[in-house]
């Protein structure tokens, strides 16, 4: 049996994961399914004398920490840089000038037409 898989499954269980989710994680990572299921079977059995004896520890990379629900639901407000704020203000001013020009043109269209026709 692969001690690395067994140690990894133990660490996952200690981290609060279910045995099924830990097994699925190892299978998704490409580990041999027979070895993963064998290690899972060893962990699901009651402790025997062979498991209580200290075994050589193989360093195992811990699974990445899952973000807490509160971390996922926190809204973060994007902050605009001063340059972006300035561009936004300039764009708004230009749009307002265009709208004002259009309104003035519509209000005084007769006078404007008379200027060019007379």
The answer to whether residues 88 and 52 belong to one domain is no
pLDDT in tens, 102-118: 999 999 998 888 888 87
Q: Is residue 76 part of a domain?
A: no
Q: Is residue 19 part of a domain?
A: yes
According to DSSP, residue 30 is labeled T
Please identify, among 15, 34, 62, the residue that sits at the C-terminal boundary of a domain.
Answer: 62
pLDDT in tens, 65-102: 666 665 555 555 666 788 889 999 999 999 999 999 99
Q: With 0.75 as the threshold, say if the pTM is over it.
A: no
Q: Is residue 14 part of a domain?
A: yes
Q: Is residue 22 part of a domain?
A: yes
Give the C-alpha separation, 97 to 78, whole Å. Answer: 29
pLDDT in tens, 9-59: 889 888 888 889 889 988 998 899 999 899 888 888 765 444 445 555 666
Q: Is residue 108 part of a domain?
A: yes
The answer to whether residues 58 and 20 belong to one domain is yes
Instruction: Map residue 58 onto helix, strand or coil.
Output: coil
CA dist 115 to 26, 54, 83, 101, 110, Å? 83, 102, 43, 17, 9
Overall number of domains in the chain: 2
Domain that holds residue 89: 82-117
């Amino acid at each position: 049996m692969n001690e690395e898989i067994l140690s990894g499954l133990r660490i996952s269980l200690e981290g609060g994961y279910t045995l099924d989710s830990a097994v699925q994680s190892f299978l998704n990572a490409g580990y041999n399914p027979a070895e993963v299921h064998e290690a899972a079977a060893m962990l699901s059995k009651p402790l025997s004398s062979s498991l209580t004896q200290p075994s050589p520890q193989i360093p195992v990379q811990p699974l990445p920490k899952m973000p807490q629900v509160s971390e996922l639901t926190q809204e973060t407000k994007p902050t605009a840089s001063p340059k972006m704020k300035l561009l936004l203000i300039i764009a708004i001013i230009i749009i307002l000038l265009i709208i004002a020009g259009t309104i003035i043109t519509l209000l005084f269209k007769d006078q404007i037409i008379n200027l060019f026709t007379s």
